[in-house]
Amino acid sequence: MKLIVGLGNPGKEYVGTRHNAGFEWIDRFAEMLHVTLKPEIRFHGLCAHVDQKDTDLWLLQPQTYMNVSGRAVVALCQFYKIQVEEMIVIHDELDLPPGIVKLKKGGGLGGHNGLKDIAAKLGTQDFWRLRIGIGHPGDRSAVVGYVLHPPRKEEAQLIAEAIERSLEVWPLLAQGACEAAMLKLHTKT
């Protein structure tokens, strides 16, 4: 892996919301690695560079708002010649309950506008995704309000635990052993 993208919306009003689970993952990972995300105008986001043995690794939080996340992803991928199979996108997932985290490659986009924009800009949806469960409000018309608000206390705890569990499989992902990471992650949840 050469690029980890955490999806969310910029701005204080979105901190801690369900839709910012990807940002939370990146914040936690950056903290573990003792790196600081800094604004990178050319990549339309907050970035950090990490030396991982023989591989350069980039962390990215697009600051373009969720619906146009692809702009930041493509800018960084093109500049550093990062291939689709060398990146993973971390995002909130309505179809999984809080506390569940799943890894997958490709497949449907589940109506997630951030994923849709990334797939459209890359010309493929065949990239790795780490899906952090946030649950569903039960009514399709309530989704927008639901994802843009903080989870209840017990849900927030489950989401935080899922993020921590997913960080444990990073060494496998770093080696490109995504199938092994998936097996380990999915047998823990």
Per-residue model confidence (pLDDT) at position 120:
96
Q: Is 49 a catalytic residue?
A: no
The per-residue pLDDT string of the chain (189 residues; one tens digit each, 9 = 90 and over) reads 999 999 999 999 999 999 999 999 999 999 999 999 999 999 999 999 998 777 789 999 999 999 999 999 999 999 999 999 999 999 999 999 999 999 999 998 888 999 999 999 999 999 999 999 999 999 999 999 999 999 999 999 999 999 999 999 999 988 888 899 999 999 854
Per-residue model confidence (pLDDT) at position 188:
58
Residue 113, amino acid: N
Query: Residue 134 in contact with residue 18, Cβ under 8 Å?
Result: yes
Structure tokens at 65: 């708002």
What is the C-alpha to C-alpha distance for residues 137 and 158, in angstroms, rounded to an integer? 16
For residues 13, 34, 87, 123, the Cα torsion angle rounded to the nearest 10 degrees is: 40
Residue with tokens 């003792």, as numbered in its chain: 34
Q: Please provide the distance, in angstroms rounded to a whole number, between the alpha carbons at the two ends of the chain.
A: 23
What is the C-alpha to C-alpha distance for residues 101 and 27, in angstroms, rounded to an integer? 17
Torsions phi, psi for 101 (to 5 deg): -135, 135
pTM, entire model:
0.95
Per-residue model confidence (pLDDT) at position 157:
98
State the number of CA atoms in the 13 A half-sphere of 109 facing the CB: 15
Per-residue model confidence (pLDDT) at position 174:
85
What is the C-alpha to C-alpha distance for residues 121 and 118, in angstroms, rounded to an integer? 5
Architecture of domain 3-188: 3-Layer(aba) Sandwich (3.40)
The DSSP letter of residue 152 is: P
Per-residue model confidence (pLDDT) at position 111:
84
Which residue from 116, 111, 77, 71 is spatially nearest to 94, judged by alpha carbons?
Answer: 111
Catalytic residue among 19, 44, 91, 112: 19
